[in-house]
Amino acid sequence: DFLPLKCNACEKIFCKDHIRYDDHKCNSAYKKNVQVPVCPLCNAPIPIQKGEIPDIVVGAHMDKDCKYNPSQQKQRIFTNKCLKLGCKRKEMMKVVCEQCGGNFCIKHRHPLDHNCKGSSHPTSKA
């Protein structure tokens, strides 16, 4: 079967086996095969003009315009410190006591575990 397919770059006719740019060594492939390089540090797309070498443009971006901040890479996950006196544990999420409103670790989250003084409601030992 020869189904005529027209190359959208060089506009020559090819069969299904040779329609790809590489298969027929298309001299006009550069017109349609447009790739936008991405900065390896900040993951931003870097626009390039025709005829520019992508490596040089990305390198210039990294030297001048890159918004990469190495301190953001090592963001701390465990930032919620337990307010229980003497406890040094930190949790990923806030564990707030409903009575006093304090932030505690999993071990001290219950009012009896952190000697809660926030509410006058009696707390059961159950």
**Residue 123: inside a domain:** no
- Tens of pLDDT, residue by residue over 32-52, are 767 789 988 888 899 888 778
pLDDT digits (tens, 9 = 90+) for 65-93: 888 776 665 566 778 899 999 999 998 88
Residue 126 resides in a domain: no
- Minimal CA–CA distance to 19: which of 28, 34, 8? 8
Same domain assignment for residues 64 and 81: no
Structure tokens at 6: 């027209």
- The answer to whether the pTM exceeds 0.95 is no
What is the residue range of 10's domain?
1-33
Counted domains in the chain: 3
Task: Report the Cα 41 to chain-centroid distance in Å.
Answer: 11
